[in-house]
Amino acid sequence: MTGSDRPAALTHARPATAAPFFCSEGLNKRFGGVQAVRDIALSVQQGEVFAIIGPNGAGKSTLLNLMSGVYQPDAGRMVFDDVDLVGLPAHKRARLGLARTFQKIRLFKRLSVLGNVAAAFHIHHDIPPWQYVVHGAAFARDQERCRAEAFNLLGFVGLEARAPMLAASLPYGEQRMLELARALATSPRLLMLDEPAAGLNAAEVDRLLERIRLLREGGMTIIVVEHNMDLVMQIADRVMVMDYGQHLFEGPPGQAQRNAAVIAAYLGA
Amino acid sequence: MSSDGHPALAVRPERGWIGRRGWHVGVLIIIALAPLVFQDSYWRTNLIVCSINIMLAIGLDFILGYAGQLNLGHSAFYGIGAYASTLLITKLGVPFWVAFVLAITLSGIAGMALSIFAVRLRGHYLAIASLGFAVIVHQILLNWISLTQGPLGIYAIKPPPEIALPGLPSISFSNTANMFYLVAGFAFLFYLLLDQLVRSPIGETLAAIREDEVSASSFGINCAGWKVFAFGIGSALAGAAGAFYASFVGTLVPDAFIITESFTILAMVIVGGMGTLIGPVWGAVLLTLLPEILREFGDLRLVLYGAALTLVVLFMPGGMVQAVQILRARVRRSPAAASGGMRP
Amino acid sequence: MVTVALQQTINGVVFGSLYVLVALGLTLIYGVLVQINFAHADVVTIGAFAAYFFTFAFGGNYLISIGVALLVGAALGWLVNAAIFAPLRERGSELLPLIATIGVSILLQNAMLLWFGPIPYAFDSPYSNEVIRLWGGTFITWQNVIIVVVSALTIVLLYGFMRFTITGKALRAVAQDRETAGLMGINPDQLIMLTFVLASALAGMSGAMLGPILVLTPFAGTTVIVKAFAIVIIGGFGNVEGTIIAGLAVGLIESYTTQLINPGLTDIVVFTLLLLMLALRPTGLIAEKREENV
């Protein structure tokens, strides 16, 4: 796994700027009687790994869903690289450079592993409309490019050999890696991972951490929602702790572990 | 591990360029020879109806099997195409081919309208909405007597006008052989069109929407827009089928487009193999021609449709395409592949 | 004028009650299985034929034939669930069971066509022609009275069952969350079967009562079923109260449209209403949202 193998999507190191890459304030979301997210404010710097942690039911996934556009907030603001996100539908956010994985694996089950990654290249195609019907030279070039890039991404997550297999037939750990490969296919600038380590064994978690480190070295900004404190300790630059939809703490991971309110939330849960 | 109970859409065998062209040439040869083999009017009629059904089935498969939209109202677009083209010709004197294009456009627009309307509706709601739409269209055709002559129908509809190319004898479409070439030719062209679309990134996009809209959106796919697109194309094809139907059969009654017709087209798609494009072709051929072969059992035809549909769903959801894949695998005696076409 | 309005109201309530019976079956099935059963229509038709033959071939009492139709419906419900929904449940596909029921529906309708022929059967119940004069010059036949009474009774009993008995509550539990209900010791498969049997019994019964007032052909059920779907959507899938209200509403709207506008347009009016409902409030009158877990 050398640097020269790294797919194009990952090698854009950008100078860090003073303004936060992504920030939100006053985010609120209610479902029926439950206030899932209450007045959440956070800011993420470009190029850092930012973790959102908290006990089960804290509202972490809901927050991620608000950020990626699956839900719209009841109130509050979200800005990504100077673009106002509120009201913007999910598919437009992908074009801005946001990508995500899902807590519940959402692979395209009946497509092959390669097909899953290929489908995620949707925004990158460069084919004149008529060539979708009459497959000309530009079509062939685009297909070749996408195929090569897809294999690169699969290589990055170690799934090259699985390319022709049906996605549903992969073991759980590999399905999670495929999710990661797909998210990277959009060439994101901000990657959001929703409980990426859920259900992985120790070796798989190590491989995941390795990938995240590599991505970070390449300049990717990563937001990770995680349940597992230990995992977060190893890769996060900064951490935000949530409970009952509210902001409990924000700062370096070491401090989080020592914070009384955080400890109470986890022990009490 | 099984593909989660969806063997229907196991990876379609990819043929190389030569293999595909070979098949296309083969089909063209079959089309060319068919009217020579079947000289009598009865069988030629069946072949033409079969071609029309192929158009309907592949259009529905594009919407249902590729984009995953449960459209139970396909008969409405069929009827709109038939009536629109006929009325444009008989009431406004529009030339056939212009009316044809207008009718296709109108059906396509109707399909897109239904889709836009239903864009937020999931699964079952869309099914009922499309059914409701089909009922409304049928009722309008039945009750707007000043326009459609209602249940009495429209008679003496002429076939497409003769084509007179310089130096060649004129081609009359009252001749069933020529009519067959025309309709089958169009069916073939439409199939090619859909096949090209499906084997392009558009096919991947539709498959993504079908499999999981939420994650598809996260990749920048505008699910609503593409669903409308799929509906538009599928319903436009149904409109073309309607236009050909009217000009071939010569009479048009609203009851040719009752909702049961949607179900028979659905049966063709499912029995043939949903989501494979070639499946619906087989399904249309089988369900159109087989009952004719069993003519003595007349009314048994629809009973067969129902039985076939139910049994296929219960025991072979991938339809004939899946059955062929399983047979092929058995012949090759490959244990892993015998479970339905998945590669190791 | 008032007479006409009153008469149409009475007619509306009569038809509405029948629609409610049919729609209730559909909504119960949907509530518990999240599946649409297209063959429901044919259970109605078969119920009608069962009642017909019981009354005319066996010389039985019409009122008892309603009970017979109920049993026949129940048996059919058991069969459809055992043969189709239960085996398909593991596959987890949203589409396939619905398509299977379409297949069964086509099969049943055309089998009946072969058996009974397309010519309508004259199903005259002894009560069809006896008329009661009501206030304001309106009238109602005993047949209609039976319909309203039986329907009302059934609906009340069903409602009471769902609300107050343990089995009824278990049913609602399975409808809301099958897995958790299972963990609580409720056997979802048994309850689903119960639901099916109940729903189809209702359908059979409505068939017996519809027979004398509709044209009895193998396709009698279809005329009602699509309207029943409309009612289920307007009332809200799986929502019993909503279905009752919507059913009566549709019955009334139909009556008024027939009288005031044009009989041929009733279907258009009802279905336009359906589409409007879907556009504005797809979850029905009394909304019960099913949030998708992302």
Cβ neighbours of residue C282 under 8 Å, at least 6 residues apart?
B120, B121, B125, C233
Q: How far is CA A254 from each of CA A162, A229, A237, rounded to the nearest angstrom?
A: 39, 11, 10
**Residue B323: inside a domain:** no
CB contact under 8 Å between B136 and C229, yes or no, is no
DSSP string, C1-69: -HHHHHHHHHHHHHHHHHHHHHHHHHHHHHHHHS---TTHHHHHHHHHHHHHHHHHTS---HHHHHHHH
Supply the angle between the helices C96-116 and B259-272 in degrees, to the nearest 10. 120
CA B263: distance to chain centroid? 12
Strand A246-251 to strand A238-243: parallel, antiparallel, or no bridges (unpaired)? antiparallel
Residue B8 is predicted with a pLDDT of: 40
* B189 contacts in chain A (CB < 8 Å): none
Pull the structure tokens for residue B168: 């060649």
Q: What residue of C is the nearest CA neighbor of A68?
A: C294
* DSSP label at residue C202: H
**Residue A43: inside a domain:** yes
Residue B114 is predicted with a pLDDT of: 92
CATH number at residue A233: 3.40.50.300
Residue B203 is predicted with a pLDDT of: 92
Q: Is residue A13 predicted with pLDDT exceeding 80?
A: no
Residue A113 is predicted with a pLDDT of: 93
Q: What residues make up the domain containing A262?
A: 3-112+188-268
Q: Is residue B49 predicted with pLDDT exceeding 90?
A: yes
**Residue B142: inside a domain:** yes
Read off φ and ψ for residue A95, nearest 5 degrees: -65, -25
Question: Looking at this predicted complex, what is its ipTM?
Answer: 0.87
Residue C291 is predicted with a pLDDT of: 47
Q: Count Cα atoms within 13 angstroms, Cβ side, for A80.
A: 23
**Residue A22: inside a domain:** yes
* B267 contacts in chain C (CB < 8 Å): 102-103, 106
In angstroms, the separation between the Cα of residue A135 and the nearest Cα of chain C is 33
Q: Is residue C143 predicted with pLDDT exceeding 50?
A: yes
Pull the structure tokens for residue C75: 């048996």
Supply the angle between the helices B96-117 and C266-280 in degrees, to the nearest 10. 50
Pull the structure tokens for residue C168: 């009824």
pLDDT digits (tens, 9 = 90+) for A115-171: 999 999 999 888 888 888 888 888 888 999 999 999 999 999 989 888 898 998 999
Q: What residue of A is the nearest CA neighbor of B3?
A: A168
Pull the structure tokens for residue C119: 């010519």
CA B102: distance to chain centroid? 19
pLDDT higher for C163 or A250?
Answer: A250
* B220 contacts in chain A (CB < 8 Å): 91-92, 94-95, 122-123, 186
Residue A229 is predicted with a pLDDT of: 77
pLDDT higher for A200 or B18?
Answer: A200
CB contact under 8 Å between A31 and C291, yes or no, is yes
pLDDT digits (tens, 9 = 90+) for B69-120: 889 999 999 999 999 999 999 888 888 999 999 999 999 999 999 998 877 7
**Chain C within 8 Å of B221 (Cβ-Cβ)?**
no
Q: What residues make up the domain containing B135?
A: 24-257
Q: Is residue A2 predicted with pLDDT exceeding 70?
A: no
Residue A49 is predicted with a pLDDT of: 92
* A69 contacts in chain C (CB < 8 Å): none
Kindly state the helix (H) or strand (E) to which residue B68 belongs, with its residue range.
none
Q: Which residues of C touch A (CB under 8 A)?
A: 289, 291, 293-294
pLDDT digits (tens, 9 = 90+) for A192-223: 999 998 888 888 888 999 999 999 998 889 99
* A61 contacts in chain C (CB < 8 Å): 294
8 Å CB contact between B53 and B262: no
Kindly state the helix (H) or strand (E) to which residue B319 belongs, with its residue range.
helix B319-332
Q: What domains can be seen in chain C, in order of their start residue?
A: 2-280 (1.10.3470)
In terms of average pLDDT, the best of A14-23, B198-207, B326-335, C100-109 is B198-207
Q: Is residue C285 predicted with pLDDT exceeding 70?
A: no
8 Å CB contact between A53 and A240: yes
Tally of domains within chain B = 1
**Which among B196, B197, B211 has the least Cβ separation from residue A111?**
B211
**Residue B5: inside a domain:** no
Q: Is residue B122 predicted with pLDDT exceeding 90?
A: no
Residue B227 is predicted with a pLDDT of: 93
- Assign A257 a pLDDT band (cuts: 50, 70, 90): confident
Q: Across all residues in chain A, what is the average pLDDT? A: 85
b/e per residue B147-173 (b: at least 16 CB within 10 A): ebbbeeebeebebbeeeeeeeeeebeb
CB contact under 8 Å between C291 and A65, yes or no, is no
Tally of domains within chain A = 1
Pull the structure tokens for residue B312: 């296929």
pLDDT digits (tens, 9 = 90+) for B141-166: 988 888 888 888 888 888 888 877 77
In angstroms, the separation between the Cα of residue A255 and the nearest Cα of chain C is 31
DSSP string, B215-257: HHHHTT--HHHHHHHHHHHHHHHHHHHHHHHHHHH--B-GGGG
**Residue B77: inside a domain:** yes
**Which among B120, B132, B302 has the least Cβ separation from residue C275?**
B132
Residue (of B230, B119, B224) closest to C278 by Cα position: B119
- Assign B334 a pLDDT band (cuts: 50, 70, 90): low
Residue C75 is predicted with a pLDDT of: 93
In degrees, rounded to 5, the angle at the alpha carbon of residue B162 between the alpha carbons of residues B158 and B165 is 170
Task: Lowest mean pLDDT of A69-83, A169-183, B12-26, B282-296, name the range.
Answer: B12-26
**Residue B29: inside a domain:** yes
Residue B15 is predicted with a pLDDT of: 58
CB contact under 8 Å between B5 and C226, yes or no, is no
Pull the structure tokens for residue A41: 């404010």
Q: Is residue A9 predicted with pLDDT exceeding 60?
A: no
Q: Is residue B231 predicted with pLDDT exceeding 90?
A: yes
CB contact under 8 Å between B307 and C282, yes or no, is no
Q: Is residue B323 predicted with pLDDT exceeding 60?
A: yes
Q: How many CB atoms are located within 10 Å of the residue A38 CB?
A: 17
Q: Can you tell me the distance from the alpha carbon of B75 to that of B114, in angstroms, rounded to the nearest whole number?
A: 13
CB contact under 8 Å between B310 and C274, yes or no, is no
Mutation target vs C (from B314, B315, B316, B322; most C CBs, 10 A cutoff) = B314
**Residue B341: inside a domain:** no
DSSP string, B177-200: HHHHHHHHHHHHHHHHHHHHHHTS
8 Å CB contact between B77 and B210: no
**Residue B174: inside a domain:** yes
Residue B292 is predicted with a pLDDT of: 76
Residue B183 is predicted with a pLDDT of: 93
Supply the angle between the helices B278-293 and B41-61 in degrees, to the nearest 10. 150
